[in-house]
Homo-oligomer: A and B are copies of this chain.
Amino acid sequence: MMKIVIDCFGGDHSPEANVEGALSALSHFPDLYLILTGDERMLRERLQGKMHDASRIEIVHAPEVIGCDERPIDVIRLKKESSMIKAVRMLRDRDDIAAMVSVGSTGALVAAALTRIGRVKGVIRPAFCPILPTMDGGLVGICDSGANVEVTPEHLRQFAIMSSLYMKNVYNIENPRIALLNVGKEAEKGDEIRQKAHILLRETPEINFVGNMESRDLLSGHYDVVVCDGFSGNVLVKTTEGTALELLKKLKKDIYSRTLYKMGALLMKRMFEEEKQFMNYQNYGGSVLLGTSKTVVKGHGSSKAASIEKCIEQAYKMEVSALSSKMEEIIMKYDHYEY
């Protein structure tokens, strides 16, 4: 039985979407068992009348609510009875629980996970690895996308090892092509951190390092993972999402500006619907935190049921493939470098 705890509050569509996503995941994975945290009465109400196997659901009451502006440190210290912190504590304390999924505040989740959940042996810094769709129909992972705004070359090597294993085990990509985000293709580009990381990555035979990547090539389909510090990774992911959404919005506005365009768009209705789905980043699940001893998946704050289900699936696959022990095995080979 695979047990995963779901933080059922904190998202724009909570708890509806969380409960629905959970039930849907249960119907797809027969050995899945879910623990839902949040206001018990509200959760029971949401379950009522919906088909589900009650023997595989546990509800844990967590009545406190986290405010939008609360500082992560205060959330950890003062909101112990919130759905997120309760989920993190259960993940830490209960040996039978393997993973957690949350759509709540990223800052609080990172802080809680890093201070309450242990790290995989040898891992210096856990890192986020969200997934974006590439233009050739594939996927690309970005690691780190925001857990560490400052990094060392050795951190970057660990991000590469962890995300390579992730893409291989969860997305079935054989020998993932790993790139280093930089301001140019040449090895000597960028600051000292990038230059040293380039050398370290080249000297790590366990990964398939293909060199530096310029950000304009992110969606080209030539790379399976791009490794970067959390600051520029955050810029990379959010700029891609932002540009795509703004362009779609502009197209829509321009189409509505003339009858002729509206007629044309009518013929292309299905195509535009597909483009919209293609660029809807919810369809690609959440951002997994790589390197914690138990799996933590962070979904978009705006996640709907399908996206929550994807997050649960990601957590499930990470655990099934025993990702952490695979990480440990490789990372411990390099553990003499830096702590």
A→B interface (CB under 8 Å): 107, 135, 146, 149-150, 181, 183-184, 190-191, 194, 214-220, 230-232, 234-236, 238-247, 249-251, 254-255, 258, 260-261, 263-268, 271, 274-275, 278-279
Contacts and interface: CB of A to CB of B under 8 A. Distances in A.
Among A183, A194, A230, A271, residue most surrounded by chain B Cβ atoms (within 10 Å): A183
Contacts of A263: 264, 267
27 contacts: A135-B246, A135-B250, A149-B190, A191-B231, A215-B238, A215-B239, A216-B241, A218-B239, A218-B242, A219-B246, A232-B232, A235-B239, A236-B239, A243-B243, A243-B247, A247-B279, A250-B275, A250-B278, A251-B275, A254-B275, A258-B271, A260-B267, A263-B267, A264-B264, A264-B265, A264-B271, A268-B268
Given A135-B250, A219-B246, A266 B264 contact: yes
A243 B251 contact: no
A38 to B, nearest CB: 25
A268 B240 contact: no
A68 to B, nearest CB: 11
Nearest to A150: B191
A183 to B, nearest CB: 5
Nearest to A69: B186
A263 B190 CA distance: 47
Nearest to A251: B275
A234 B246 contact: no
A92 to B, nearest CB: 26
Number of copies: 2
Contacts of A247: 135, 243-244, 247, 279
A230 B182 CA distance: 11
A142 to B, nearest CB: 11
B230 A242 contact: no
A44 to B, nearest CB: 35
Contacts of A146: 183
Contacts of A232: 231-232, 235
Given A216-B239, A243-B239, A183 B265 contact: no
A251 B135 CA distance: 10
A261 B268 contact: yes
Given A264-B268, A267-B261, A275-B251, A215 B242 contact: yes
Contact of A246 (B220, B241, B260): B220
Contacts of A249: 135
A184 B106 CA distance: 11
Contacts of A191: 149-150, 231
A107 B246 CA distance: 31
